[in-house]
């Protein structure tokens, strides 16, 4: 008979995929076998998370909690009127209303919280954290999420900036040449092109104007003790159908954290991520022994397989949109990958915040 202790030791020796733990409910597929007792803190996230990853590391190195670190990091971008992919200044839906989605996961407590279709609150990630900390629920939506946010002291504000309003007005005017909306003069401040895909990993084919803006911010961090948290927050797909919910607030899609394995988050076409349980898939691949980058690439291949609709494929028969994953494992190894070349991700390690080039499946 092999004792449980011998079995665990043997499993660790034969490789990551074979590592097994025993929960009270029976055997569970376990965490990666190779672990360092002290981890170099690392924060990794989307290209627009440069300040967020730096802040997350600052907070955890100062002894703060990992979730406080990532949420304080993305709050900077959520409050920034110049970033049109999240929070204040995020691009609105079809009706010109900004609807925000966010989720958080706290590894050590196995906690999760999320909000969807939240209107009027600049920092949906903080509301998601409040859902996790102050309710017995995981996901609040719409008016209920807003009422909850107000009860927790968040202020209702107008989230449309002059720039995002002008872009929505122009989009509405370009929808049809048979309605009464006139295309405004596009020159001048506020009509600059949308943020560069290299940094943000944006873009989806759109029948009206070519590329449709779709930005999001994700940030994950691991501290010295190996505790891990993550957050994803977004204003979602620009000009979306009111009520549309993307992957960002869906636990397992736009974000997943398992404190024994790692964290992963996504940006890009949320529908593709939801259908493939994207971030959870990446975590399971890492649990089975893949590196963060390989796990991200493998989950992206699933998206390619799932993209059978001709309307979503380009002239090469490949996805006409992009999805990006960002991941860190229990050892502090990190990676980022996208379907298409040219994307970058943010990382902060050893006190330096920088952008690195994402791995990819296809050259543009």
Tell me the C-alpha distance between 272 and 246, whole Å.
9
Helix 66-78 / helix 124-134 crossing angle, nearest 10 deg: 150
# residues near ligand GLY by CB under 6 A: 13
Interactions with ligand GLY, residue window 226-245 (CB under 6 A)? 234, 236-237
* CB nearer to ligand GLY: pick between 154 and 269: 269
Q: Is 216 a catalytic residue?
A: yes
Does 322 sit near ligand GLY (CB under 6 A)? no
CB of 113 closer than 8 Å to CB of 67: no
Q: State phi, psi for 304 to the nearest 5 degrees.
A: -60, -45
- List binders of ligand GLY among 249-288 (CB under 6 A): 254, 267-270
At its nearest, how many Å lie between ligand GLY and the CB of residue 245?
A: 8
CA 315 vs CA 205, 307, 320, 322: distances in Å: 12, 13, 9, 15
The answer to whether the beta carbons of residues 341 and 360 sit under 8 Å apart is: yes
> Which residues have CB under 8 Å from 231's CB, separation 6+?
67, 70, 71, 73, 74, 102, 103, 104, 105, 125, 128, 129, 218, 219, 220, 255, 265
Q: Is 113 in the site for ligand GLY (CB under 6 A)?
A: no
Binding of ligand GLY at residue 248 (CB under 6 A)? yes
Q: Which of 55, 216, 232, 276 is catalytic?
A: 216
DSSP letter for 251, please: B
Give the shortest CB-267-to-ligand GLY separation in angstroms. 5
216, 223, 276, 358: which one binds ligand GLY (CB under 6 A): 216
Lateral strand order in the sheet of 323-329 = 255-258, 262-268, 323-329, 334-340, 359-362
Q: CB-wise, 200 or 260, nearer to ligand GLY?
A: 200
Q: Which one, 65 or 197, has the nearer CB to ligand GLY?
A: 197
Smallest separation (angstroms) from ligand GLY to the CB of 300: 14
CA distances from 105 to 4, 132, 187, 226, 262 (A): 31, 8, 42, 15, 11
**Residue 178 contacts residue 287 (beta carbons within 8 Å):** no
Q: Exactly one of 30, 45, 124, 246 binds ligand GLY (CB under 6 A); which one?
A: 246
Q: How far is the CB of 273 from ligand GLY (least distance, A)?
A: 6
Q: Which is nearer to ligand GLY, 57 or 346 (CB)?
A: 346
Cβ proximity to ligand GLY: between 226 and 236 the closer is 236
Q: Rounded to the nearest whole angstrom, what is the least distance from the CB of residue 237 to ligand GLY in the complex? A: 5
- Could you list the residues that contact ligand GLY (CB under 6 A)? 214, 216, 234, 236-237, 246-248, 254, 267-270
Please identify every residue annotated as catalytic: 216
């Amino acid at each position: 008979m092999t004792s449980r202790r011998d079995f665990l030791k043997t499993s660790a020796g034969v490789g990551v995929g074979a590592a097994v733990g025993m929960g009270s409910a029976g055997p569970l597929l376990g965490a990666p076998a190779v672990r360092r007792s002290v981890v170099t803190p690392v924060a990794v996230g989307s290209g627009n998370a440069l300040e967020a990853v730096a802040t997350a590391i600052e907070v955890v190195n100062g002894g703060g909690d990992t979730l406080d670190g990532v949420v304080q990091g993305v709050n900077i971008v959520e409050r920034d009127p110049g970033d049109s992919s999240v929070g204040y200044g995020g691009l609105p839906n079809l009706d010109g209303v900004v609807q925000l989605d966010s989720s958080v996961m706290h590894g050590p407590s196995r906690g999760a919280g999320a909000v969807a279709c939240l209107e009027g609150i600049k920092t949906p990630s903080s509301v998601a954290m409040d859902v996790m900390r102050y309710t017995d629920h995981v996901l609040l939506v719409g008016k209920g999420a807003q009422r909850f946010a107000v009860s927790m002291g968040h202020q209702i504000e107008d989230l449309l900036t002059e720039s995002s309003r002008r872009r929505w007005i122009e989009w509405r005017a370009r929808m049809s040449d048979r309605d009464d909306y006139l295309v405004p003069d596009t020159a001048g401040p506020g009509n600059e092109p949308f943020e560069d895909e290299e940094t943000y990993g944006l873009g989806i084919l759109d029948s009206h104007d070519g590329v449709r803006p779709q930005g999001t911010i994700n940030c994950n961090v691991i501290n010295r003790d190996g505790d891990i948290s993550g957050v994803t927050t977004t204003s979602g797909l620009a000009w979306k159908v009111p009520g549309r919910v993307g992957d960002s607030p869906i636990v397992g899609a736009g974000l997943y954290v398992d404190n024994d394995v790692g964290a992963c988050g996504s940006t890009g076409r949320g529908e593709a991520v939801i259908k493939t349980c994207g971030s959870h898939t990446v975590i399971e691949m890492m649990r089975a022994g893949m590196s963060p980058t390989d796990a991200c690439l493998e989950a992206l291949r699933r998206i390619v397989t799932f993209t059978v609709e001709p309307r979503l494929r380009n002239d090469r028969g490949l996805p006409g949109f992009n999805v990006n994953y960002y991941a860190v494992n229990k050892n502090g190894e990190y990676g980022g990958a996208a379907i298409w070349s040219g994307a970058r991700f943010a990382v902060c390690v050893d006190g330096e915040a920088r952008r690195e080039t994402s791995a990819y499946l296809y050259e543009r």
